[in-house]
């Protein structure tokens, strides 16, 4: 049996697709895998920001179309790139075990940057978080794959990246400052992979069930519920990070800038997963309420 996996051709995307292939083959001996790679419009157009290209879904929609057109059986995405509402006919069949969640500063430590230093990122969320803690910084735009972004470090004092991307590609820059995910809140789904298949393809759904990691599904599901409640493919600076406690309760922390030039709202909800804490947190932040200790329950 051969399974066709749709993926972007960037080094990180290929790592992710090969990782899923290895998980499937380990769980299903004798399985053959073929990668179906494409360069998306967002990969080819580096002159505009992700928001200008289409925001959430800019890297995933063309991959999804390959599966819907039966040119591939599965699509592997960084969960952070996946729109909150996926197309009709598709289902997320697996969330493999999540990797590192936090962002990091490459090239300098945040506390060591002088006033007026230039930090580069292509993310509106990261820009808002940086300026929230260091309004004295200059934040510049930055696009491209991991190698391209690292090569641009010489043009800036530092750049912000997902730590998991460096880990997966074996990159070890000289200076890496890990940013606390409780305060520098990551993107929804950061560090996780999402694997889609056609909803009617029972054979693929059974295969994907063999690599699904239930704790990851729970926490990423809560984060994606946060995003969906904000408006599906919200292009406002927003992030969420959920963690599952030993008591079965889920803690989700979120950040939102209702106005791109305004102050950030931060909040936290502690609740049982079935109570949809992600949506509850989004409702509070969208209403302008910053959650404090009294919101924990």
Burial category of 190 from C-beta neighbours within 10 Å (exposed 0-12, middle 13-18, buried 19 and up)? buried
Element (H, E) at 76: strand 74-78
Strand, coil or helix: what is 157?
coil
DSSP 159: E
Is 81 a catalytic site residue?
yes
Per-residue pLDDT tens digits of the chain, which is 297 residues long: 899 999 999 999 999 999 999 999 999 999 999 999 887 645 544 444 455 445 555 678 889 999 999 999 999 999 998 988 899 999 999 999 999 999 999 999 999 999 999 999 988 899 999 999 999 999 999 978 899 999 999 999 999 999 999 999 999 999 999 999 999 999 999 999 999 999 999 999 999 999 999 999 999 999 999 999 988 655 678 999 999 999 989 999 999 987 666 678 999 999 887 889 999 999 999 876 654 433 433
Give Cα 5 to chain centroid, integer Å. 20
Kindly list the structural domains of the chain, giving each domain's residue range(s) and its CATH number in brackets, ordered by start.
Answer: 2-98+192-212 (3.40.190.10), 103-178 (3.40.190.10), 225-295 (3.30.160.40)
Cβ atoms within 10 A of the Cβ of 133, count?
13
Q: pTM here?
A: 0.89
- By CB neighbour count within 10 A (0-12 exposed, 13-18 middle, 19+ buried), where does 9 fall? middle
The catalytic residue among 73, 81, 157, 276 is 81
Query: Rounded CA gap, 196 and 83, in Å?
Result: 12
């Amino acid at each position: 049996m051969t399974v066709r996996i749709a993926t972007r051709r960037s080094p990180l995307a290929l790592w992710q697709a090969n990782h899923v292939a290895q998980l499937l083959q380990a769980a299903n001996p004798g399985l053959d895998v073929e990668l179906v790679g494409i360069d998306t419009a967002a990969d080819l157009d580096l002159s505009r920001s992700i928001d200008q290209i289409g925001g959430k879904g800019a890297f995933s929609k063309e991959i999804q179309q390959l599966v819907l057109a039966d040119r591939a059986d599965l699509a592997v995405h960084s969960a952070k790139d996946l729109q909150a509402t996926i197309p009709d006919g598709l289902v997320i069949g697996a969330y493999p075990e999540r990797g590192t969640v936090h962002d990091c500063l490459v090239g300098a430590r945040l506390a060591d940057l002088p006033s007026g230093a230039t930090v580069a990122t292509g993310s509106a969320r990261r820009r808002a978080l940086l300026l929230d803690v260091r309004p004295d910084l200059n934040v510049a735009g930055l696009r491209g794959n991991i190698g391209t972004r690292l090569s641009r470090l010489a043009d800036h004092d530092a750049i912000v990246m997902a730590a998991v991307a460096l880990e997966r590609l074996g990159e070890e820059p000289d200076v890496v400052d890990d940013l606390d995910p409780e305060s520098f809140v990551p993107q929804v789904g950061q560090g996780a992979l999402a694997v889609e298949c056609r909803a009617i393809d029972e054979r693929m759904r059974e295969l994907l069930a063999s690599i699904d990691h239930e704790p990851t599904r729970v926490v990423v599901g809560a984060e994606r519920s946060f995003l969906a409640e904000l408006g599906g493919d919200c292009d406002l600076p927003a992030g969420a990070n959920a963690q599952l406690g030993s008591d079965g309760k889920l803690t989700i922390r979120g950040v939102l800038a209702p106005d791109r030039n305004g102050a950030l709202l931060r909040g936290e909800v502690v609740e049982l997963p079935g109570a949809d804490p992600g949506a509850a947190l989004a409702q509070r932040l969208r209403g302008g309420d910053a959650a404090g200790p009294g919101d924990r329950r």
